[in-house]
Chain A
Amino acid sequence: DAKTTQPNSMESNEEEPVHLPCNHSTISGTDYIHWYRQLPSQGPEYVIHGLTSNVNNRMASLAIAEDRKSSTLILHRATLRDAAVYYCILCPYNQGGKLIFGQGTELSVKP
């Protein structure tokens, strides 16, 4: 299973943008990049996913490097509710039910 590398922790101020990086230098051509987050005392929740092109949804944006060896999750305006552990996961094609979680990035948001 291909691995991802994320910073252990990051800090942000409320209402400012947050850029959460992820390195995945051993990504294969059929690996999708998924992001999940886990709020305190809850199960993980889906944030966004992509393959090659940048993606946007109501929660966040995903910027994928041209060589696909890194990606960045962008929260446009952090709120206190965004404080969570964010996981960047490589998901092989047709293996959507098998998520291999790394250590993730613990994001704290200051008021």
Chain B
Amino acid sequence: KAGVTQTPRYLIKTRGQQVTLSCSPISGHRSVSWYQQTPGQGLQFLFEYFSETQRNKGNFPGRFSGRQFSNSRSEMNVSTLELGDSALYLCASSIGTGTHNEQFFGPGTRLTVL
């Protein structure tokens, strides 16, 4: 089975631009979660989607948004980029939303904002 894939792997943007990151979950997985990882704040939960619905949202400004498609693929969008948005963005998928479900993480998208 193929793992979680994220595209692109690396991205460079300038302040004020917007960016869209993509995540393809493991086949059969219906839950997708997004995380931001920075040296200063560590790993922070962004949001979780299940069956095209946002189930949970972390403490991030409205510039961060996401969606999930009927095939469970997910995208996250960041508008009006700031320097502080430079980070590794990780996506994780699991079969469902239950606590017993292991989350499988992708390799991440490294976003640099200049």
Residues of A within 8 A of B (CB): 32, 36, 38, 42-46, 49, 87, 91-104
Whether B66 is near chain A, meaning CB under 8 Å from some CB there, is no
Contacts between chains A and B (CB distance < 8 A), count = 78
Whether B101 is near chain A, meaning CB under 8 Å from some CB there, is yes
Q: Is the CB of B99 within 8 A of A95?
A: yes
Closest CB in chain B relative to A48 CB, distance in Å: 10
Interface of A is mostly: loop
Residues of B within 8 A of A (CB): 4, 31-33, 35, 42-45, 48, 50, 55-56, 58, 90, 92, 94, 96-108
Q: Which of A32, A49, A97 counts the most B-chain CB atoms under 10 A from its CB?
A: A97
Complex Cα spacing A38 to B108, Å: 12
The residue on B at minimum CB distance from A45 is: B105
Q: B92: which A residues are within 8 A, CB to CB?
A: 43-44, 97, 99
Q: Which of A42, A43, A45, A98 counts the most B-chain CB atoms under 10 A from its CB?
A: A43
Q: Which one of A44, A87, A92, A95 lies within 8 Å of B90 (CB-CB)? A: A44
Q: B42: which A residues are within 8 A, CB to CB?
A: 101-104
Complex Cα spacing A100 to B99, Å: 13
The residue on A at minimum CB distance from B96 is: A96
Q: A87: which B residues are within 8 A, CB to CB?
A: 43
